[in-house]
Amino acid sequence: MITTGELRRRAEAWASEVLPGPRWRVELTDERARRHKSWRPAYRVRFRAWELAGAARVPLGAGGQPGQVTFPTGDLDAPGFEPLPDDAPARALVLEAALVAARRSIPDDALAVRLAVWRRTRGGREVVVAVERARPDGELALDLDPETGERLGLLALPLLRGSRRSAAIGRMTALARARAGAAAARGGALCAGAPRRAADRAPVARALPGGGQTLVVTSCTRSGLLVGWSGFGGRACGRARGAGVGARDRAAAALRLTVELRLGERARLSPPVPGARAGRRVWLAVVHAPDGRLFRAVLDGGRVELVRRDPSALGRSA
């Protein structure tokens, strides 16, 4: 069974595929258990994304004073660089000089330093400063199966710089591009980037990539770029349709994910058993929190509820 930590690592690896560095920097902001559109339990994780605005090269003169700044420069991936120490001479002056140069090229947005590296040169040292916009450029949402780690869908909403400089494409062109990219999207190769306004994106195509599963693709109606997809079909596991081993394992995975996200990975979960609530079949489990609290966990229709219980109520029915 995949742990929550492993799910998180898989989500971070997937995010780096969708929005690769050094152009993009992503930061995990939220993770939760949810019910996917296909009624399958899902691990939903959200990332904020920042697009690299550019890199500035700052030569250091005598005493570490910054020289003539070059912006932009492509030296960020050059060999021989090491992180700029916090106690480097005139560090604050160097970073400010890089930001001043960047603001001349990007005057309308607040900028921030992403990272700074330096290396020795024949004349002394030089610093390369990566600059990004202070505000996030958008967010990335990923859904994974909590039992298997399977990728269930994503939605990438960072604004690509310059994406509004061209005219919007027609609907038929958008459909054609979405269909062409559907198979690649299922494998994770996605062209991310959509305008911020929801009206500029829409599900415009459905594809059958194989395995009896329907893929709903979301495309930017201005550029035709794929910005998301969601898989439907396959096994559903939100309702207790029986006490088979497969159904029990899927219920255990959904319950465990919610318990670990809310109570921590040290919480202990009993094997789930089928039960009933208001005429519906549900999955029930007992949860022991790390701090000694006792909960009853209920998986009902793909949603998990944790109900605080007294130890004396452990044997009562749901």
Q: Looking at residue 222, what is its pLDDT?
A: 66
Q: Looking at residue 207, what is its pLDDT?
A: 41
Q: Looking at residue 191, what is its pLDDT?
A: 43
What would you report as the CA-atom Rg of the chain, rounded to the nearest whole angstrom? 25
- Cα separation, 74 vs 69, in Å, equals 13
Greater model confidence, 230 or 259 = 259
Q: Looking at residue 200, what is its pLDDT?
A: 42
Report, as an integer, the average pLDDT of 192-214. 43
Give pLDDT tens digits for 55-91: 999 998 877 788 899 998 876 666 778 998 988 888 9
Coil/strand/helix, residue 4 = helix
Least confident range from 240-244, 257-261, 283-287: namely 240-244
| Residue 199 to residues 10, 63, 142, 166, 276, Cα–Cα distance (Å) | 31, 54, 21, 17, 42
Band the pLDDT of 22: cuts 50, 70, 90: confident
* Average of per-residue pLDDT values in the chain: 78
- Cα separation, 273 vs 316, in Å, equals 14
- pLDDT > 90 in the chain, percent: 26
- With 70 as the cut, is the pLDDT of residue 151 above it? yes
